[in-house]
C-alpha cells in the first residue's frame, strides 16, 4: 500500500509504502528512503490521461495535485476503468458518424438518439451529392458504355472500406499512444504498401471474375479486355489513395488540434467515393477506345 | 485488503478482509463472520468476463477457481485493464472489416496488415458486385432518366451510414452488457422510430435542396416534382430499413453464437446498398410516369 509524503503545506515530496515504513526504525527519516520520482496527475488534466498513466505504470492509485503541486486527492484504478470504457464508447461513436451520448442506449430517448445521429448524416448526405455530380458530369460517357455504371457500387464500396480500415487503425493506435505525428511518414509508407498489396490482389481476383463470370458466363458483350483492365486499374489506384487518405487525415487532424476520431470511415468514405469515381472515369476515358 | 478462505483441499469457501481479521478475537471462528457469497471466475472463463466482473463490482482483485472450485489464483485489476483495451481494439477492428491483429500497429508487418485486411475487402467486393447487377437490371430505365444515376451515391451512402450507426451502437451496448437479446423488440421499436425521424428530416432537407439547387439554380429539366418526391421517399424508406437491419443483425448474430462485431458497418452497408437501390428503382417506377 502506497503512502504519499508531503511537507506542511501539502506539497507532494515523495512516495513510500506501508511495508517500507514497518521495516525501518522509528528514528529513520522518511526523506532518506522515500521514492522522490512520483508519477502524478494535475487537477486540470483530462481524466483520460489519468487512466492512461494508471494503465501504463500498472498502479492501483495515482496522486492528484493542484497547480501549486499540493496533494489534493488520489484517483484509483476502478475509477479509471469506467473512464477508459466511456472514452472507448465515445471514440466508437465518433468513428461511426455519431455525436457522443452520455446515457446508456436504452436510457437515451428516441429524440436524443436522433439528435446524436442527424448532424453527421446530414453533412455526409450533402457531401455525397457532390459525388453524384461527378456522375452527372460523365453522363454522356456512361450512356455510351452503360456497363460501367454497374461497377460503380463495387468501386465505391471497396474504396470506402479500404480507407475506413486505415483510418480506424490509425485512430486506435493514436488513442493507445502507439503512434503519434512523428511517425507520419513511416505510417504513410506502410499504408501505401499495404494499399498496393490489397489493390493488386483484389484487382487480380476481380479481373478473372469479370472475365469468367460477366463476360463468358453471362455473355455481356460490352465487357472487353480493356473495360476489365480499366476497372482493375481503378481498384489499385483508388485503394492506394484510400489508404493514404485514411491514415493521413486522422494524423493531420490531431496535429492541428482536432479530434482524430471524426476523421473516420464515414467521412473518409465520402472523400474516397469522389476520388474513386474521378479515377474510374479518368482511367476509362484513357484506356477504352471511343470513350475519350 | 481481501483474504480468501478455503478448506484443506483449497475449495473456495468465503472471503473476508484484513480489517475484519484484526478486529475479531483470537478465538472467533472465521466461518462465522466471513462473506460466503464470493464473486469468482473459472480458469476456463474468457478473460473478458473476468475484466467485466472486476469492473462491475469495482473490485481490485478476483479469485480464480478450477473446475472443482479450488482456488488456483487471483486476477488483479491492472491485468484486467490491458484485457479491456485489447478487447476494445479487437472489437473496433472487427467492426471495421479487419481481422484482429495481436501486435501494435508499427510492429505489425506490411504482409500481416494485408492479411488482416484482405479477406473482408474481398468478401465485401464480391458482395458489392450484386449491388452492381441491380443497377444493370434497371439500365433501360436509367437510360430514360439519367438524372436518377446522379442520386445513387447519395442514397447508398446515407443508407450505409444510417445502418452503420445503428449496428455500431447496438454492438457496443451489447459488449458493455447494457442490451441483450431480451431487449430485441424494444431495440427494434426504438430504431425504427429513430429511422423515421432521421428519414423524414433528411428527406425534408433534400427535397428543398434538390428543388432549389438542382432544379432552379442549375436548371436541370429532368428534375420534376415527382422525381424529387421519389428520391425523398426512398430516403425515408431506406433509412428505416437500414436502422432495422443495423440493429437486428448484430443481435441475431449473438443469439446464434456468432460475434456480433462482424455484423457492423461495412457488412450492413453492403446489404443496405442493395436494398436502397431496389427501393429507389421500385419507388421511381411507381411514381414517375414513363418509367413503369
Please tell me which of the candidates B93, B110, B160 has its beta carbon nearest to residue A193: B110
Contact B106 A179 (CB under 8 A): yes
pLDDT band at A96 (very low <50, low <70, confident <90, very high): confident
pLDDT of residue B239: 95
> Taking all residues of chain A, what is their mean pLDDT, rounded to a whole number?
87
* HEC letters along B36-98: CCCCCEECCCCHHHHHHHHHHHCCCEEEEECCCCEEEEEEEHHHHHHHHHHHHHHHHHHHCCC
**CB within 8 A of B95, min separation 6: which ones?**
A92, A96, A168, B168, B171, B261, B262, B264, B265
pLDDT band at B194 (very low <50, low <70, confident <90, very high): very high
Contacts of residue A81 in chain B, CB cutoff 8 Å? 54-55, 58, 77, 80-81, 84
Helix or strand holding residue B127 (H, E): helix B110-137
Contact A193 B54 (CB under 8 A): no
Give the sheet arrangement for strand A71-76, strand by strand.
A41-42, A61-65, A71-76
pLDDT of residue B55: 78
**Residue B185 CA from chain centroid, whole number:** 17
Residue A244 pLDDT > 70 = yes
Contact B124 A201 (CB under 8 A): no
Q: What is the pLDDT of residues B70-114, one digit of tens each?
A: 999 988 887 777 788 888 888 888 887 788 887 888 888 888 888
pLDDT of residue B292: 64
Residue A242 pLDDT > 90 = yes
Cell numbers of B124, please?
A: 465485401
Contacts of residue A115 in chain B, CB cutoff 8 Å? none
Return the residue in B105, B145, B179 with the most chain A beta carbons within 10 A, the one to mutate for interface testing. B105
Q: What is the ipTM of this complex?
A: 0.79
Contact A149 B126 (CB under 8 A): no
Residue B6 pLDDT > 80 = yes
| Least Cα separation, residue A9 to chain B (angstroms) | 30
Please tell me which of the candidates A95, A125, A270 has its beta carbon nearest to residue B206: A125
Contacts of residue B1 in chain A, CB cutoff 8 Å? 1
CB pairs under 8 A between A and B: 284
pLDDT of residue B144: 79
Residues forming a β-bridge with A64: A41, A73
Contacts of residue A161 in chain B, CB cutoff 8 Å? 97, 120-121, 124, 266
Helix or strand holding residue A12 (H, E): strand A12-17
Residue B132 pLDDT > 90 = no
Over range A135-149, report the average pLDDT.
Answer: 82
> Taking all residues of chain B, what is their mean pLDDT, rounded to a whole number?
87
pLDDT band at B283 (very low <50, low <70, confident <90, very high): very high
pLDDT of residue A292: 64
Contacts of residue B265 in chain A, CB cutoff 8 Å? 96, 164, 265
Q: CA–CA separation, A52 vs A45, rounded Å? A: 12
Residue A99 pLDDT > 90 = no
Contact B78 A85 (CB under 8 A): no
Contact B129 A209 (CB under 8 A): yes
Q: CA–CA separation, B276 vs B104, rounded Å? A: 38
Q: What is the pLDDT of residues A46-88, one digit of tens each?
A: 888 888 888 788 788 889 999 888 999 988 887 777 788 888 8
pLDDT of residue B97: 77
- β-pairing, A2-6 vs A12-17, is antiparallel
Contacts of residue B206 in chain A, CB cutoff 8 Å? 125
Residue A291 pLDDT > 80 = no
Contact A168 B98 (CB under 8 A): yes
Contacts of residue A270 in chain B, CB cutoff 8 Å? 157
pLDDT band at B17 (very low <50, low <70, confident <90, very high): confident
Closest CA to B33 of B12, B45, B48, B19: B19
Residue A117 pLDDT > 70 = yes
pLDDT of residue B106: 84
Q: What is the pLDDT of residues A159-208, one digit of tens each?
A: 988 998 898 889 888 888 888 889 999 999 999 999 999 999 999 999 99
pLDDT of residue B195: 94
Q: What is the pLDDT of residues B211-268, one digit of tens each?
A: 998 888 888 788 889 999 999 999 999 999 999 999 999 999 888 888 888 777 778 8
Contact B165 A95 (CB under 8 A): no
H helices within chain A, ranges in order? 18-23, 30-33, 47-57, 77-95, 110-137, 139-144, 147-150, 152-175, 184-209, 225-255, 265-287
Return the residue in A98, A125, A202 with the most chain B beta carbons within 10 A, the one to mutate for interface testing. A125
Contacts of residue B205 in chain A, CB cutoff 8 Å? 122, 125
Q: CA–CA separation, B82 vs A107, rounded Å? A: 29
CB A221, CB A54: distance < 8 Å: no
Contact B104 A173 (CB under 8 A): yes
Residue A92 pLDDT > 90 = no
Contacts of residue B57 in chain A, CB cutoff 8 Å? none
Q: CA–CA separation, A127 vs A266, rounded Å? A: 11
| Least Cα separation, residue B9 to chain A (angstroms) | 30
Residue of B nearest to A98 (CA): B165
Amino acid at each position: 500500500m502506497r503512502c504519499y509524503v508531503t511537507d506542511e503545506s501539502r506539497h507532494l515530496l515523495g512516495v513510500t509504502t506501508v511495508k517500507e515504513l514497518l521495516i525501518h526504525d522509528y528514528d529513520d527519516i522518511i526523506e532518506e528512503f522515500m521514492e522522490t520520482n512520483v508519477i502524478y496527475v494535475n487537477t486540470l488534466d483530462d481524466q483520460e490521461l489519468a487512466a492512461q498513466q494508471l494503465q501504463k505504470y500498472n498502479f492501483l492509485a495515482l496522486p492528484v495535485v493542484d497547480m501549486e503541486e499540493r496533494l489534493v486527492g488520489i484517483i484509483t484504478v476502478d475509477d479509471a476503468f469506467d473512464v477508459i470504457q466511456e472514452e472507448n464508447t465515445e471514440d466508437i461513436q465518433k468513428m461511426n458518424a455519431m455525436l457522443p451520448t452520455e446515457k446508456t442506449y436504452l436510457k437515451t430517448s428516441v429524440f436524443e438518439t436522433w439528435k446524436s445521429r442527424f448532424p453527421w448524416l446530414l453533412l455526409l448526405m450533402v457531401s455525397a451529392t457532390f459525388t453524384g455530380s461527378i456522375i452527372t458530369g460523365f453522363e454522356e460517357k456512361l450512356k455510351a458504355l452503360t456497363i460501367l455504371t454497374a461497377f460503380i457500387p463495387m468501386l465505391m464500396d471497396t474504396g470506402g472500406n479500404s480507407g475506413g480500415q486505415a483510418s480506424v487503425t490509425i485512430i486506435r493506435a493514436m488513442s493507445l499512444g502507439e503512434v503519434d505525428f512523428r511517425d507520419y511518414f513511416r505510417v504513410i509508407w506502410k499504408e501505401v504498401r499495404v494499399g498496393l498489396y490489397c489493390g493488386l490482389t483484389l484487382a487480380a481476383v476481380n479481373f478473372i471474375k469479370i472475365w469468367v463470370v460477366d463476360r463468358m458466363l453471362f455473355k455481356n458483350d460490352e465487357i472487353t479486355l480493356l473495360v476489365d483492365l480499366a476497372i482493375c486499374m481503378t481498384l489499385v489506384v483508388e485503394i492506394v489513395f484510400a489508404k493514404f487518405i485514411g491514415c493521413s487525415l486522422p494524423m493531420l487532424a490531431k496535429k492541428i488540434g482536432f479530434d482524430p476520431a471524426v476523421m473516420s470511415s464515414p467521412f473518409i468514405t465520402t472523400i474516397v467515393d469522389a476520388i474513386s469515381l474521378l479515377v474510374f472515369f479518368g482511367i476509362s476515358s484513357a484506356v477504352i477506345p471511343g470513350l475519350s
